[in-house]
Amino acid sequence: MRVAIVGGSGFVGRHLTRKLVSQGHQVVVVSRQVNPGHQTLEDSDSVTAVKAPLADTVAMVKALKGCEAVYNCVGISYERGEQSYERVHLDGTRNLLSAMRQAEIDRFLHVSFLKARPMVDSPYHSTKWQAEEMVRKSGTNYTIFKPGVLYGEGDQFLSHLKTTLKSFPFFGLVGFEETQIAPLSVEDLCQAMAGCLEKQDAFGKTYGLVGPEAFTLKEIVELTADSLDIIPTTVSLPIFLHRFAAILMEYLMKTPLLTTSQVTMLSEDLAEPAPPSDELPAELSPTTKFSPGCR
C-alpha cells in the first residue's frame, strides 16, 4: 500500500517509516522542510520525501495524490513564532483533512496524546483534544492513537532526562504527589499504528497506549541515573516552580529541556488514557519493558 506520513521527519514519523517499509509498504514522507532524519532511508525505492507545509493545501494535495492512507504525526510540545498549538494541532489537522478530501483519500490514522481532553488548563492538551473531535466528525475511516510518554532512539524524554542528570547535582520532582508513568516504547507504538493500517475493525476507534509497566517519576529518574552510573539527589518541588523554569527555558533555549506542557503532563497520571479509549487488539498491545539503557 502507498501511504503518506505527514510529520514524517519527526521522532514518531521516522520510526513509523522504517516499520511500514519493513512490511513492504511504499511511504511518502511529508514534512515542512527537508530533514536529515531519513538519510538512512534515502536510497530506498520504498521512500519518497516531499516538502509540503500543512498550511499549503495545494502542495499537500499534490503530496498525497496516489496514496491510499494518511498518518498524521504532526505535533509540537512548545510554541515558538508562528508554530502555535492552535495553528499546528487545529489548523494543521483541518487543512490536512481538506487535502485528503481533494486527493480522494478516506483512511486517516491520527496521533494525539494520552491525556488529551476538554476542560483542562493546558493549550497543548485542549488543542490535541479538539483535533481528535475534528477527526471524529470528518467522515473519514479514522483511527486515533493516544500514546503516553514515549521513549526510544532519538527521543526527547530520555535524552533530556539524561542531559539534566549529567548537568545538575539534583533533580526536581514535579509536585508533592506521586503519580504513575507507564513509558511506551516508540517501536510498540509504531507496531500498533502499522498493524491497524488495513484493519477495518480499527475504523472509528480511539486507542490509548501505555507501556506494560508503571513507575513513579522518582523511580524513572533513579533507573535512568543508574544506567549512567550516577547517584541522583531528588527533591520534590512545587509545580509552579517547574512551570516558571519551563517558561524561562522555552524563552532562552532553542530546544528546551522542559516545557510548560511537559510540566502539566508530569503532574498527572500517565499510566491510564483519558476517555474515550477503545481496547487495542491483543496482538498489537505494547509489551516492551522500560529500559533507559536501551537507546
Per-residue pLDDT tens digits of the chain, which is 295 residues long: 999 999 998 999 999 999 999 999 999 999 987 654 555 565 678 999 999 999 999 999 999 999 999 999 999 988 988 889 999 999 999 999 999 999 999 999 999 999 999 878 889 999 999 999 999 999 999 999 999 999 999 898 899 899 989 988 788 898 888 899 999 999 999 999 999 999 999 999 999 999 999 999 999 999 999 999 998 899 999 999 989 999 999 988 888 888 898 898 888 999 988 777 899 999 999 999 998 875 4
Name the helix (H) or strand (E) containing 6: strand 2-6
Buried (b) or exposed (e) across 58-79, using 16+ Cβ within 10 A? ebbbebbeebebbbbbbbbbbb
The answer to whether 109 and 193 have CB atoms below 8 angstroms apart is: yes
Buried (b) or exposed (e) across 126-146, using 16+ Cβ within 10 A? bbbbbbbebbeebebebbbbb
pLDDT at 18: 94
Q: β-pairing, 234-237 with 171-174?
A: parallel
* C-alpha span between 213 and 140 (Å, rounded): 34
Q: What is the pTM of this model?
A: 0.92
pLDDT at 104: 97
* C-alpha span between 211 and 128 (Å, rounded): 21
- Report the topology of domain 2-150+185-210+271-284: Rossmann fold (3.40.50)
